[in-house]
């Protein structure tokens, strides 16, 4: 009985520590889209804390070569350290692959507010791997809301963005590509 009681108490402590560690990690901003956190973007995966207090954080890259990943790793470790969790390891996991569908509803709204047209659904576009590049049929201008927009370049300022322009307000804007 005593043993069981102890185990339950330890599990409870670990769970609390895990929730705390997750909250801290979830708050880390993305270096290239600083108005969004890595949790908004779906870059943060699992957070585990073991009995000794060691924190394991799993993150996943948006694109294979995304250079922000190293910065994110460092930021997560720094934040955890600042919050009294210096004993931590950040793991990069690839599977299942990141998709823009992992961006939270809150994240989508933040993108729009900051002048970046959010991605349409990627779901199924690559589901069977046979579909072509997902086409954004109705990208609305994030500034004036007009649907009269066109793609200028599919590869934009970062790996995840395309460059578009609005036909109504004539402003160019970034569009996060469905992936």
Partner 1 sequence: MSGDTTSERSGWRSAAEPSVERVRSGARPGDVSGLVEYTLRLGDDALILSQRLGEWITRAPQLEEDVALANIALDLLGQARSLLTYAGEAEGAGRDEDALAYWRDERDFRNVLLVERPNGDFAETMARQLWFTSYQYELYDRLRASADPTLAAVAAKAVKEVAYHRDHAAQWVLRLGDGTDESRRRMQGGLAAVAPYVDELFDPDGVTGGLGAVAVDPAALREPSERHVDGVLDRAGLERPPEPAHVARGGRRGLHTEVMGYLLAEMQHLHRSHEGASW
Tokens of 46: 């699992």
Q: What is the dihedral of CA 125, 128, 131, 133, to 10 degrees?
A: 50
Asked if 96 touches partner 1 (CB under 8 A), the answer is yes
User: Per-residue x/- marks for partner 1, 51-90, CB under 8 A?
Assistant: -------x-xx-xxxxx-x---x---------------xx
As measured in angstroms, the least distance from the Cβ of 15 to partner 1 is 14
As measured in angstroms, the least distance from the Cβ of 145 to partner 1 is 25
Q: Which is nearer to partner 1, 91 or 113 (CB)?
A: 91
As measured in angstroms, the least distance from the Cβ of 146 to partner 1 is 22
User: Per-residue x/- marks for partner 1, 5-44, CB under 8 A?
Assistant: ----------------------------------------
Binding to partner 1 (CB under 8 A) within 99-128 occurs at: 99, 126
As measured in angstroms, the least distance from the Cβ of 135 to partner 1 is 10
Q: How far apart are CA 14 and CA 73, in angstroms?
A: 22
- Beta strands 44-49 and 55-59 are antiparallel
Asked if 153 touches partner 1 (CB under 8 A), the answer is yes
Residues at the site binding partner 1, with contacts judged by CB under 8 A: 45-46, 58, 60-61, 63-67, 69, 73, 89-99, 126, 129-130, 132-133, 152-157, 159, 163, 177, 179
């Amino acid at each position: 009985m005593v043993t069981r009681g102890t185990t339950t108490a330890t599990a409870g402590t670990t769970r609390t520590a895990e929730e705390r560690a997750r909250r801290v990690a979830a708050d880390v901003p993305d270096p290239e889209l600083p108005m969004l956190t890595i949790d908004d973007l779906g870059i943060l995966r699992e957070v585990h804390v073991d009995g000794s207090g060691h924190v394991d954080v799993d993150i996943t890259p948006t694109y294979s070569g995304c250079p922000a990943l190293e910065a994110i790793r460092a930021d997560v470790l720094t934040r955890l350290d600042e919050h009294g969790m210096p004993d931590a390891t950040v793991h990069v996991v690839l599977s299942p692959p990141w998709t823009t569908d992992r961006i939270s509803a809150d994240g989508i709204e933040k993108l729009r507010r900051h002048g970046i047209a959010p991605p349409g659904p990627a779901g199924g576009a690559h589901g069977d791997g046979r579909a072509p590049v997902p086409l954004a049929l109705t990208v609305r201008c994030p500034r004036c809301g007009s649907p009269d927009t066109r793609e200028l370049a599919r590869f934009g300022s970062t790996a995840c963005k395309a460059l578009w322009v609005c036909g109504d307000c004539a402003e160019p804007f970034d569009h996060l590509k469905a992936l």
